[in-house]
Structure 1
């Protein structure tokens, strides 16, 4: 059996999904957020009691719900990549739309959480909540940008002249970064005591 055939099927080429430009963007964003996470940890270490007291006002249930929503969106996104690679374009479109729907749901839940916290008087005047609003706000901007990228991928899949599986890979790569960032944000803002 040759290397080109495995189990009667052509061997898949091994490569990094997406393109170099998207990886540079993703790694740049991870670096930016990493710096902010370190800054948060330094300030938290200097005012541990105050941060812990403010942190108790966050709803872990809402944080868990948002985490489940984004992890579900990542599952849909990964399945979309598999579908487009297998030529199931309509299925890939549906999966990308489901990914986007999860992103919209995440945004609505986060907006509700912000509304509740602000109405209780927890604003950027509190050091912890200052970090909370900036971290989750910048993350929400990334979610909005990710939704636009997913929309572009769906549009390209609908146009038979412009169909490129790589656009799906790139959009999903960016979406997975958004999910990864949320998992870290959730851990340091909601769980770490």
Structure 2
């Protein structure tokens, strides 16, 4: 018996694609390249002034760095599980998970401003060479990306709240927002050991 085209199409395996919009992945890739250049520059100048950079590293609060890392990893977990809840049309779960991610984001921002305040009050700039130039460049640029990410999280929350009440945005856009947030977390996972742990 002949098989119809419709039956063949239904039996064909689903084509897997990268989640999110292709343009966003180009942006993420470009952003990662830019950060990689900054990381390499930091390591080069750290090699030029090892004693001063080590002195600068010792002035940082490693405990705060660890807390920030845990907070961002937790936020990524919330976003990943929230995205799955969105796909399954689970409004309450998705909404609360994105709220949890937002709480983590604001906790990170608050902790970072505490760090900035203690560094400025400590006046370490004259004794640590270029260390704090790179510290503020790396953490400031990351913080800028994180603030944009907060806007993304609010968008994800707004879409979760629309489940069952109206049209929800394209899933590829929602996936792209989640991918952007994961990039922000990944950047911190590199920045944290680079600034706080490398001796």
Q: TM-score, normalised by structure 1?
A: 0.90
Find the counterpart in structure 1 of residue 182 from structure 2.
176
Alignment of 1:125-136 (within 5 A): 126-136=129-139
Find the counterpart in structure 1 of residue 167 from structure 2.
161
C-alpha deviation, 1:12, in angstroms: 6.5
Q: Which structure 1 segments of 5+ residues have no match?
A: 6-10
C-alpha deviation, 1:4, in angstroms: 6.5
RMSD after superposition: 2.1
C-alpha deviation, 1:134, in angstroms: 1.0
Stretch deviating more after TM superposition (115-124 or 61-70): 115-124
Q: How many residues align?
A: 188
Once residues 150 and 167 of structure 1 are traced to their aligned partners in structure 2, the CA distance between those partners, rounded to angstroms, is 12
Q: TM-score, normalised by structure 2?
A: 0.87
Find the counterpart in structure 1 of residue 3 from structure 2.
none
Query: What SS does the aligned partner of 1:15 have?
Result: coil
Task: Give yes or no for contact 2:49–2:129 (8 Å, CA) kept in 1.
Answer: no
Assess, with a 3 A threshold, how the Cα gap between structure 1 residues 14 and 48 changes in structure 2: closer, same or farther. same
Q: Which structure 2 segments of 5+ residues have no match?
A: 1-7
Name which one, 1 or 2, has greater alpha-carbon Rg: 2
Assess, with a 3 A threshold, how the Cα gap between structure 1 residues 62 and 142 changes in structure 2: closer, same or farther. same
Once residues 155 and 189 of structure 2 are traced to their aligned partners in structure 1, the CA distance between those partners, rounded to angstroms, is 25
C-alpha deviation, 1:167, in angstroms: 2.8
Query: What SS does the aligned partner of 1:83 have?
Result: helix
Find the counterpart in structure 1 of residue 26 from structure 2.
24
Find 1:44's aligned residue among 35, 43, 46: 46
Any runs of at least 4 consecutive aligned residues in structure 1 with deviations exceeding 6 A, and if so which? 2-5
